[in-house]
Amino acid sequence: MAEEPRDELPTNLPRLSLHVPEPKFRPGDAVDFTAVDIPPAGAARRPDTAALAADFPDLAYTLVRVLDDDHQAVGPWNPRLSPDVLRRILRNMVRLRAFDDRMFRAQRQGKTSFYMKALGEEAVAVAAAHALDYEDMCFPSYRQQGLLIVRDWPLVDMMNQIYSNTADRLQGKQLPIMYSAREAGFFSISGNLTTQYPQAVGWAMASAAKGDTRIAAVWCGEGSTAEGDFHNACTFAAVYRAPVVMNVVNNQWAISSFSGFAGAESTTFAARAVGYGIAGLRVDGNDALAVYAATQWAAERARTNQGPTLIEHFTYRAEGHSTSDDPSQYRSAGEPTAWPLGDPICRLKDHLVTIGEWDEERHAAQDKECAEEVRAAQKAAEANGILGHGLHQPLDSLFDGVFEEMPWHLREQRAQMMAEEAASGRPWARK
């Protein structure tokens, strides 16, 4: 029997109160990140890749860092990469930033409807891609375009998709920036949050069941860890020891909601791994060497049947969530420049300069070269059309690609649509 509602509250009990997370800085506030705990570079221990996850839970609560304040690579996580590899990582981060800048401007010019920049997060995808094998399958979120850039996927093809033009291999059926490139091991991006997590774990389980050698890697934002798909994936990954690297990009903001709404006030996102018995690492996401080292470690662990690893990349989204977002409405304008872990491109550049393998003149020349490469790609892509200039695909192709063989009811709907469009006299009814 249901309890009767009380007319009066007991006077001898404290009143309950609901905690609602609140970001530290709002528009107009001065920014002070001194409360952010940043351990010294090189301080985190590096376990053997065969160690049990229960042996190093502390790595889910600290920060794996390699580049110190003097721009030197220090500590046990130093991957000791050759200068040539370091320069390739740097160049790909610069290419990504140049690509983002030009496509952002294209959206503002009305050439496409939507774009998302990875400003400040370039190391997360670029350094990880360098640490993975080309044959490994990547299940990205919508800010890992750096994976395609590292794998030398044509920039023109990416732009064709953004413009939904006549050369768009996806036929205008995906929102701009939601690429799909199976040949490059890049799973189709979905706008539904975190659906890629169970897909990645399932793919990894299938690879293991077949006795393959390929592993999976997957990314999501910290806000998406509140989704059920994330936790379902963690359960399957832990139970079946799936060979998968699970990345959580903690860039402090999920659209206009700060990370506290996903649980950041209580613990780290890497700590999610501890409860599932999964290896967990928390990494300086603006340190390309730390991202590379952590990904390489987790990939080796997966390849040797030691199970999954969850990596939290502690970074900051310097730009708005997308071109549809205005971050000045919900966060202080001083946050991006005050972020204590700096800029990933500048940090790797400064390291190369410090060890005598780079200089400011070459860096400026590289900036110009990458900007010209992207500009040329944009010119080629726009020759195929832009989104703002109307329909670029035959209208009857709208129903293609849903089923291997189109069922009768879709054939009827397509015929009805084409008949109505032809009767209307609108030009896009014609192929």
Query: pLDDT tens digits for 119-177?
Result: 999 999 999 999 999 999 999 999 999 999 999 999 999 999 999 999 999 999 999 99
How high is the pLDDT of residue 2?
64
Whether 260 and 409 share a structural domain:
no
Q: Is residue 12 part of a domain?
A: no
- With a CB cutoff of 8 Å and minimum separation 6, the contacts of 404 are none
How high is the pLDDT of residue 70?
98
Q: How far apart are CA 326 and CA 3, in angstroms?
A: 48
Tokens 């990954």 sit on residue = 237
Whether 406 and 365 share a structural domain:
no
How high is the pLDDT of residue 390?
75
Which domain covers residue 74, as residue numbers? 53-322+331-387
Whether 408 and 297 share a structural domain:
no
Low-confidence ranges of the chain (pLDDT < 50): 429-431
What is the number of structural domains in the chain? Answer: 2
Whether 300 and 413 share a structural domain:
no
Whether 408 and 375 share a structural domain:
no
Whether 414 and 269 share a structural domain:
no
Q: How far apart are CA 90 and CA 87, in angstroms?
A: 5
How high is the pLDDT of residue 430?
42
Tokens (6 digits) for 259: 């990370």
Evaluate the CA torsion angle 84, 86, 92, 95 in order and state its sign: negative
Whether 214 and 315 share a structural domain:
yes
Tokens 């919900």 sit on residue = 330
Whether 375 and 279 share a structural domain:
yes
CA 99 to chain centre: 16
Residue 219, strand partner residues: 247
Whether 276 and 360 share a structural domain:
yes
Whether 354 and 406 share a structural domain:
no
Q: Is residue 3 part of a domain?
A: no
Whether 124 and 196 share a structural domain:
yes
